[in-house]
Amino acid sequence: MKKYLLSILCGLLFCSLSFAQLPDKAKLDEYFNVLEKNNKFMGSVAVSKNGTLLYQRSVGLSDVEGNKRANEQSTYRIGSISKTFTAVLVMRAVEQQLIQLDQTIEGFFPTIKNANKITIRHLLSHRSGIHNFTDDKDFLTWNTQPQSEKAMMERLSQLGSDFQPDYKFSYSNSNYVLLTFLLEKVMKDKYPSLLKKFILQPIGLKNTFYGGKINVSKNESKSYTYRDGWKAESETDMSIPLGAGAIVSNPADIILFSEALFNGKIIQPESLVIMTNMKDNYGLGLFVIPFYDKKGYGHTGGIDGFNAVFSYFPEDKVAYALTSNGTNFINNKISIALLSAVFGRPFDIPVFKIFELSIQELDLYVGTYSTPNFPLKITISREGNSLMAQATGQPAFPLSPIAQHKFQYEQAGVSMEFDPEKKTLQMKQAGRTINFTKE
């Protein structure tokens, strides 16, 4: 769900490798100790093989204000991993012959543009052309307020279409909000009840549920961004993401879900084959997450300050999940380290060097930067001892100093270099360089 200025890479690396039975627990513990000590990660991870848990670890605080440490039962908003759960519910409806994947949606949503051409399969595979409502510049002005089904349908109907159905893949949360409403219509029950009836209860997920207002007294985690300390993020109201991103869970439960999914316990094997049939690298609620020569299926998720990922490797029967309520690091590196331990690959303990700047030095960079070669302006501000960057209409993100006049936002692979005398800013990301001038 979460809206980013710059995309965070989620793919893992390719290479050949051999399999090891058990992870290096002591080294993994040291790895997470270093992350926690340096305020790089708050959250939980778990990995299993053949249904047996190999490693589980929770670090950081689930509630910074209350100084409450995370534990194995702490829960997190899992964002778009919810889409996999929703896709499973859709496949259950297909199995019950309540709907067909290739039927169009005009009978359910006549006000949606191209509804007579958009199929349920198009919604599941992000090929509908329906504009992604979280990309709208005003999204962050209303995302914390409750929305009725009528209000959401009005918004989705006004979005229009970005392209003709099935022309291409384009990720859109709008698709899975519509699927939520569709499921409720054909299965004649509310989404939270459907989730509980067809997935949570049958496979015994005790720490997974449809989210509401975060309740720290029930071991639910709040989310944070690191800006001179962990700062609480706002809460998206769960009446908005629905089946696109409203589920709360933790790694142990997500692993149980993935094991059940790939072992025929919640949908038929034929349905799973359909879900894992990739087109433009996306199936139905799943995409391929490779690790060297291993092929895993899963999903990533992000909402507010939460991030999550899960992957299941059918050939090795290995399941992996990560949930985070605060990251000042590249979570993909954490995934690589843990899977390396499981699959017998070497991995390094990270080393963090601290480069400190005074408030006076930080203030040299504050201002608004623009260029005719980029449609958005970049505003640089200071919060305490931290520098923040924000593009027009986008969430702010923290910049970490790495050298004189040089900063980075590691999660998105963004680097920024300032020249205070020339009043310029050079931003680099994914091989692209953009030069800005201070207004």
Q: Quick one: pLDDT band at residue 6, thresholds 50, 70, 90? A: very low
Of the listed ranges 105-114, 156-165, 395-404, the one predicted with least confidence: 395-404
Backbone CA torsion sign across 37, 43, 49, 55: positive
Query: pLDDT at position 22, please?
Result: 64
Of the listed ranges 4-18, 228-242, 277-291, 329-343, the one predicted with least confidence: 4-18
Could you give the CA distance from residue 322 to residue 335 in angstroms, rounded to a whole number? 8
Burial, 394: exposed, middle or buried (Cβ in 10 Å; 0-12, 13-18, 19+)? middle
Could you give the CA distance from residue 186 to residue 14 in angstroms, rounded to a whole number? 42
Per-residue model confidence as pLDDT tens digits over 33-68: 999 999 999 999 999 999 999 999 999 999 999 999
Query: pLDDT at position 70, please?
Result: 98
Of the listed ranges 8-22, 81-95, 105-119, 397-411, the one predicted with least confidence: 8-22
The answer to whether residue 80 scores a pLDDT higher than 90 is: yes
Query: pLDDT at position 1, please?
Result: 57
Query: pLDDT at position 2, please?
Result: 47
For residues 23 and 341, the answer to whether their CB atoms sit within 8 Å is: yes
Which strands form 76-77's sheet, in the order they lie side by side? 76-77, 247-249, 209-210
- Please tell me the pTM assigned to this model: 0.86
Report the amino acid identity of residue 375. P
| Average confidence (pLDDT) over 135-141 | 91
Quote the Cα angle for 329-247-56, to 5°. 50
Q: Quick one: pLDDT band at residue 20, thresholds 50, 70, 90? A: very low
The answer to whether residue 8 scores a pLDDT higher than 50 is: no
Domain boundaries of the chain, sorted by first residue: 25-351, 359-438
Identify which of 424, 393, 394 has the alpha carbon closest to the alpha carbon of residue 409: 394
| Average confidence (pLDDT) over 365-384 | 93
- Say how many CA atoms lie within 13 Å of 27 toward its Cβ: 17
| Average confidence (pLDDT) over 97-113 | 98
359-438: CATH number: 2.40.128.50
Query: pLDDT at position 396, please?
Result: 86
- Say how many CA atoms lie within 13 Å of 306 toward its Cβ: 34
With a pLDDT cut of 90, the percent of the chain lying above it is 84
User: What mean pLDDT value characterizes the chain?
Assistant: 93
The answer to whether residue 5 scores a pLDDT higher than 50 is: no
With a pLDDT cut of 70, the percent of the chain lying above it is 95
25-351: CATH number: 3.40.710.10
| Average confidence (pLDDT) over 318-340 | 96
For residues 336 and 13, the answer to whether their CB atoms sit within 8 Å is: yes
Could you give the CA distance from residue 198 to residue 43 in angstroms, rounded to a whole number? 28
Q: Quick one: pLDDT band at residue 210, thresholds 50, 70, 90? A: very high
- The DSSP annotation for 18-76 comes to ---SS--HHHHHHHHHHHHHTT-EEEEEEEEETTEEEEEEEESEEETTTTEEP-TT-BE
